[in-house]
Structure 1
Amino acid sequence: MKRHSIVARFKNGSVAKGTTFDFSPFKTFFNVETESGEDVEVEIEKLKALFFVKHSSDGRNKRPGYKNMRDLGGKKIKVHFLDGETVMGYSMEYCPDFQGLFVTPVDPDGNNERIFVTTSAIDKITFL
């Protein structure tokens, strides 16, 4: 199975970096092999968001430029998290009854390939 590089950001502010091969938005948990080699079971309900990244460094110091915004299928949205952070991207489907949604970032130069945002970490979503 293909391993995906991820950065898991939790509602309590903690972060886990590593890889996963068994994430599914329809499960209640998935496994992460951390950068130190530890296997950790992650409960999706405890997540703020799961960032599928190109490189293991999360690029938090890089601010999105949005100069080369790509136009992707789906609805363009801005996700406002409960902690004040925001992300912009495209999503094919948003249903508040689901445990989360996938967002494809608009910045092609950023480190994030896609983001799974948990519904319980969202303050609001703005459709752009």
Structure 2
Amino acid sequence: MSRSHTRHELSQLESNLRIEIGKLAQSKNISLDTQSSSRCELIVLLTQAGLCEHPLFSQITQVDAAVCQLDIGLYGLCSDCENEIEAERLDINPVEQRCTQCAESHQHEHRQELRLTH
């Protein structure tokens, strides 16, 4: 996937998330300017509104991370081992942060943490 294609996909994903975040804010009677705020401002506004636990917050932060990685030339590298993330994984989810092996390890560790805390 080319860099411009990736940037376009991330932009589309961000646009869709901004619409959904706007609907969420409206349903909770929270004033958020989702269209003119930068991604950083939007993340801060969501944090201040107490929506950090909402899946849309996680999704917009993942988009922000992927765009930042693209800007500095690190897009597609695993956040854990720094090897390349498989192209198929990025085709499925352009904000993927881990290669298959590290994702499986992370998921296993997370399950263990859940068992220990519950």
> What TM-score results when the alignment is normalised by the length of structure 1?
0.25
Q: Normalized per residue, which structure has more strand?
A: 1
Higher radius of gyration, 1 or 2: 2
Q: Normalized per residue, which structure has more helix?
A: 2
